[in-house]
Amino acid sequence: MGVTSPALAGTTGVERIAAVFAANRAAGRKALAPFVTAGDPDADATVAVLEAVGRAGASLCELGVPYSDPIADGPVIQASYTRALNAGITLEGVFDIAKRAATAGSMPILAMVSYSIIFRRGIPAFTAEAVAAGLAGLVVPDLPLEESDALDTACRSAGLALVRLVTPTTPPDRAAAIAKKSTGFLYCVSVAGVTGARTELPAGLAERVAWLKTQAHVPVLVGFGISGPEQVRAVAAVADGAIVGSALVRLVAEAAAAGSSRADVLAAVSGRVAELAAACGPRS
């Protein structure tokens, strides 16, 4: 099962995430956090992919909630959101995917979701549904720090992590305040711009991560532009883990477009995740 086994049912999402990072530290490895779009190409496929990445060595996973106007996602993830929405995915469908995957495995799953979706649903209703679905936390990229108190309070009460993001252009004072408020982990955006695979990591990232680790009370993960084992290995040398999104979303999309069987898609995903996980250190 890898290092995700301490994420036992019956504990809060924050506790499940903390247990995974504790197990990683004990095993001398860093976290791999893939990103998967809910409903692309369909709900059953997403559940199967989530189960596959957990078995292949992912520590935790972000489940993207499709949205018609994403602000931080590059063309690969935007296209996956469009496909999922055109296929009829709904918020209820996303919660159902999360619940099915959470029931089948112990890997913590966090929803990557626009605040407008949460606001429209209502914070109390959304957080209650998230807990019922087995989600461990939320990553809300478009929620400003100054407007986050209501959701922060609701998440803390529900035991959900509320992961905050810091970008290269965030001023130091603001970055420190964001880091101190983040629960679960802190998402360090490696580059200015949108998501998407890139060939190299930016200069100064190691120094920025080292500073953020002095400000945050939670692990620091790096995302945006990370696609291959060498980049994961470089991130793992300085941070507590790496987030890989567009590269896996593209892999699923290309396999589906090529008419590959479900088994072949899952084998491809599992192989890629295992390769990336190996760059994070030994599995327990």
Give the residue numbers annotated as catalytic, written as ranges: 62, 73
- Please give the biggest Cα pair distance in the chain: 50
The DSSP call for residue 28 is T
Residues 6+ apart with CB under 8 A from 196: 74, 75, 76, 224, 225, 246
Q: SS3 for 193?
A: coil
At CB < 8 A and 24+ separation, what contacts does 253-262 make? 253/40, 253/41, 253/76, 253/79, 253/80, 253/83, 256/40, 256/41, 256/45, 262/45, 262/48
Instruction: List the one residue out of 67, 102, 97 whose CA is nearest residue 82.
Output: 67
> What are 229's two structure tokens?
């084992």
CA 163 – CA 257 distance, rounded (Å): 33
> What are 197's two structure tokens?
């695979």
How many residues does this entry show for the chain?
Answer: 284
| Parallel/antiparallel/unpaired status of strands 161-166 and 186-189 | parallel
CA-to-CA dists, residue 86 to 67, 89, 121, 195, 270, angstroms? 11, 8, 21, 22, 26
